[in-house]
Amino acid sequence: MIVGLGNPGKEYAKTRHNIGFMVLDEVASYFNVNFKSGFKGVYGEYKNWLFLKPFTYMNRSGESVKEIVDFYKINVEDILVIHDDLDMDFGKIKFKKGGSDGGHNGIRSIINHLDSTDFYRFKIGISKPLRSEYTSKYVLAEFNSFEKKVLPDLLVLCRNAIQCFIESGAKAAMNNFNNKKIEKEDNQCRQP
Handedness of CA 159, 164, 165, 171 (dihedral sign): negative
Do the beta carbons of residue 176 and residue 190 sit within 8 Å?
yes
Q: Cα dist. 167→47, 52, 63, 172 in Å?
A: 11, 18, 28, 9
17 catalytic residue (yes or no): yes
The answer to the question of whether 12 is labelled as a binding residue is yes
Using CB atoms within 10 Å of the CB of residue 130, give its burial: 0 to 12 exposed, 13 to 18 middle, 19+ buried.
exposed
Please choose, from the candidates 142, 120, 156, the residue with its C-alpha nearest in 3D space to the C-alpha of residue 26: 156
Rounded distance, CA 104 to CA 186, Å?
31
The answer to the question of whether 46 is labelled as a binding residue is no
List 17, 83, 104, 113, catalytic entry? 17
The answer to the question of whether 160 is labelled as a binding residue is no
Using CB atoms within 10 Å of the CB of residue 73, give its burial: 0 to 12 exposed, 13 to 18 middle, 19+ buried.
exposed
Rounded distance, CA 97 to CA 77, Å?
8
The answer to the question of whether 112 is labelled as a binding residue is no
Binding residues for tRNA: 12, 57, 59, 105
Active site residues: 17
